[in-house]
């Protein structure tokens, strides 16, 4: 047997990897700690499809309905549905349920690619709100409330607005103000809370999107709570959303054989959330505080002040290391896996699955790295191309046009035929139908040389790019 995937996954386990990465269960550590092992040990035998008693995700009336109701109570929604194709399918279903073909949706520019993909599927035209960026770290901070209100005022014919909250980097903004304003203009608010399923666990964390008035909220439970990769939830509240439409689109885009393993893992995550979540979150926030305090007088390491304290952004540029280098050193020399890096630093996703020992290992590694790698090398600043490119075609129009491959620098000024996406975080710099700019090409080529990968292009070597003539 050719155990390629299995061997690599086993290798990770044998290496005792320390995970500051998703999924939130951290290589299953939390299941062992809280005694869910006996259920999970037989999970492969539980794999099933719809048979008497197992209910049906697409028209739940029994155990799945009751399990979802239990989740709804935990997350304080009116209704909650389990998703087995990640938040991706929740975002796509929400957009297609609310926006008919040829209509507009207001979107934060630093949205996940699934939002633009939904616009391709549903023939919806995205109108962007500029995203705020911290120039010194290129951390995406979300939208400015006044910018959002201006875009709403200029596009009153839009049926809905979708916002990422919190951002991948744990940044938030006054979502309530935007929700209230959008509602006053009869718009529905969808929130991509993929990175914020844990926010309800502490008053020290930013308020949840539901608390701030969002109508539909999609959470990647698997990212920041202990469920399996690809298992997510969609929550609704109030009466602005046609729930039957939402459910019928979920039926179209989700598998007709929903995985009971994923649904079971969501049920476990809800159980952990309700029974242990608040205490574990208190411990986690203390561990993070103690860890950061160890470096309070250390000028070599810098932490970016995130609104969601469970997101740690560490910069080592003061000792001459860029983020991509820090990530490689942490993994290769200290067995620590971070979530992602940009030029300036690395982002660590800390969840209730992380324990005190993880932070001790991280502290030891960072102190060692300072000793070993400190240099006078100056890290020159770079500019993140944050301007919104000019749109010539909607994403769907562009998707169906014929494409031609040209050398990357010849694409400048042409209509892009594909996505240009630094990955992670999976946020598109140019989407199909937009004009390619020199600043974007310069940025991706520069960062790619430094260690950033770029997805979305047919030519992954970045030699050529597809354009529309």
Q: Which residues form the interface with ligand PLP (CB under 6 A)?
A: 86-88, 112, 114, 164, 168, 192, 194-195, 220, 232, 425-426
Q: 68 or 114, CB closer to ligand PLP? A: 114
Whole-Å CA distances, 104 to 120, 155, 159, 309, 414: 12, 8, 7, 35, 24
Q: Min. distance of Cβ 175 from ligand PLP in angstroms?
A: 14
Q: Min. distance of Cβ 168 from ligand PLP in angstroms?
A: 5
- Treating both helix axes as pointing N-terminal to C-terminal, what angle do 145-154 and 175-184 enclose, rounded to 10 degrees? 20
Q: How far apart are CA 52 and CA 30, in angstroms?
A: 32
Q: Min. distance of Cβ 88 from ligand PLP in angstroms?
A: 3
Q: 365 or 421, CB closer to ligand PLP? A: 421
Q: 197 or 465, CB closer to ligand PLP? A: 197
Q: Min. distance of Cβ 181 from ligand PLP in angstroms?
A: 22
Pair of tokens at residue 118: 């939904």
Give the number of other CB atoms < 10 A from CB of residue 144.
16
Q: What's CA 339's distance to the chain center, in Å?
A: 11
Which position's Cβ is nearest ligand PLP? 86
Q: 88 or 138, CB closer to ligand PLP? A: 88
Q: Min. distance of Cβ 114 from ligand PLP in angstroms?
A: 5
Nearest to 321 by CA among 295, 348, 302, 340: 302
Q: 84 or 352, CB closer to ligand PLP? A: 84
- Read out DSSP for 439-454? HHHHHHHHHHHHT-EE
DSSP character at residue 410: G
Q: Sort strands 188-192 and 125-129 into parallel, antiparallel or unpaired.
A: unpaired
Q: How far apart are CA 282 and CA 23, in angstroms?
A: 20
Q: 88 or 300, CB closer to ligand PLP? A: 88
Q: Min. distance of Cβ 194 from ligand PLP in angstroms?
A: 3
Pair of tokens at residue 454: 């770029």
Q: Min. distance of Cβ 164 from ligand PLP in angstroms?
A: 5
Q: Sort strands 125-129 and 340-341 into parallel, antiparallel or unpaired.
A: unpaired
Q: Sort strands 160-164 and 104-108 into parallel, antiparallel or unpaired.
A: parallel
Sheet with 302-304, edge to edge strand ranges: 302-304, 311-315, 346-349, 340-341
CB-neighbour burial class of residue 119 (10 A; exposed 0-12, middle 13-18, buried 19+): buried
Q: Min. distance of Cβ 195 from ligand PLP in angstroms?
A: 6
Q: How far apart are CA 274 and CA 356, in angstroms?
A: 22
Q: 258 or 425, CB closer to ligand PLP? A: 425
Q: How far apart are CA 9 and CA 6, in angstroms?
A: 5
Residue 200 CB contacts under 8 Å (≥ 6 apart), including other chains = 74, 75, 76, 208, 211, 273
Residues in the chain: 469
Pair of tokens at residue 322: 């860029």
Q: 86 or 417, CB closer to ligand PLP? A: 86
Type and span of the H or E element at 162: strand 160-164
Q: Min. distance of Cβ 418 from ligand PLP in angstroms?
A: 19
Q: 67 or 220, CB closer to ligand PLP? A: 220
Q: Sort strands 311-315 and 302-304 into parallel, antiparallel or unpaired.
A: antiparallel
Q: Min. distance of Cβ 233 from ligand PLP in angstroms?
A: 10
Q: How far apart are CA 16 and CA 33, in angstroms?
A: 16
Q: 115 or 398, CB closer to ligand PLP? A: 115
Q: Min. distance of Cβ 321 from ligand PLP in angstroms?
A: 25
Q: 320 or 426, CB closer to ligand PLP? A: 426
Nearest to 170 by CA among 147, 189, 193: 193
Q: 60 or 424, CB closer to ligand PLP? A: 424
Q: Min. distance of Cβ 128 from ligand PLP in angstroms?
A: 15
């Amino acid at each position: 047997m050719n155990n390629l995937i299995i061997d690599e996954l086993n290798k990770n386990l044998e290496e005792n990897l320390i995970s500051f990465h998703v999924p939130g269960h951290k290589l299953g550590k939390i299941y062992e700690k809280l005694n869910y092992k006996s259920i999970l040990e037989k999970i492969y035998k539980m794999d099933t499809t719809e048979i008497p008693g197992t209910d049906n995700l697409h028209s739940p009336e029994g155990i799945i309905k009751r399990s979802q109701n239990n989740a709804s109570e935990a997350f304080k929604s009116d209704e909650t549905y389990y998703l087995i194709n990640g938040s991706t399918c929740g975002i796509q279903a929400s957009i297609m349920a609310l926006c008919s073909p040829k209509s507009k949706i207001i979107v934060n520019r630093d949205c996940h690619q699934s939002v633009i993909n939904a616009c391709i599927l549903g023939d919806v035209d995205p109108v962007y709100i500029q995203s705020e960026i911290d120039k010194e770290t290129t951390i995406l901070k979300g939208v400015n409330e006044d910018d959002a209100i201006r875009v709403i005022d200029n596009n009153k014919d839009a049926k809905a607005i979708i916002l990422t909250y919190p951002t991948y980097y744990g940044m938030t903004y006054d979502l309530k103000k935007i929700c209230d304003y959008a509602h006053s203009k009869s718009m529905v608010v969808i929130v991509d809370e993929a990175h914020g399923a844990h926010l309800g666990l502490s008053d020290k964390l930013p308020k949840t999107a539901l608390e701030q008035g969002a109508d539909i909220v999609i959470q990647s439970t698997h990212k920041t709570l202990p469920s399996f990769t690809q298992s997510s939830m969609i929550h609704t509240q109030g009466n602005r959303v046609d729930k039957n439409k939402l459910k019928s689109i979920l039926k179209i885009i989700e598998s007709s054989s929903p995985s009971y393993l994923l649904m079971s893992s969501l049920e476990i995550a809800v159980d952990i959330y309700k029974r242990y979540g608040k205490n574990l979150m208190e411990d986690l926030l203390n561990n993070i505080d103690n860890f950061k305090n160890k470096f309070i007088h250390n000028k070599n390491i810098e932490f970016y002040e995130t609104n969601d304290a469970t997101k740690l952004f560490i910069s080592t540029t003061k000792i001459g290391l860029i983020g991509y280098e820090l990530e490689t050193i942490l993994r290769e020399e200290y067995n620590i896996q971070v979530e992602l890096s940009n030029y300036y630093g690395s982002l660590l996703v800390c969840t209730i699955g992380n324990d005190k020992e993880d932070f001790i290992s991280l502290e030891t590694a960072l102190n060692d790295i300072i000793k070993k790698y400190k240099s006078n090398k100056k890290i020159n600043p770079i500019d993140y191309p944050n301007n919104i490119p000019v749109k010539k075609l909607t994403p769907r129009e562009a998707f169906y046009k014929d494409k031609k491959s040209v050398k990357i620098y010849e694409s400048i000024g042409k209509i892009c035929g594909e996505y240009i996406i630094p990955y992670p975080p999976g946020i598109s710099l140019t989407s199909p139908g937009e004009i390619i700019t020199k600043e974007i090409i310069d940025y991706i080529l520069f960062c790619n040389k430094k260690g950033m990968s770029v997805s979305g292009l047919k030519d992954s070597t970045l030699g050529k790019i597809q354009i529309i003539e």
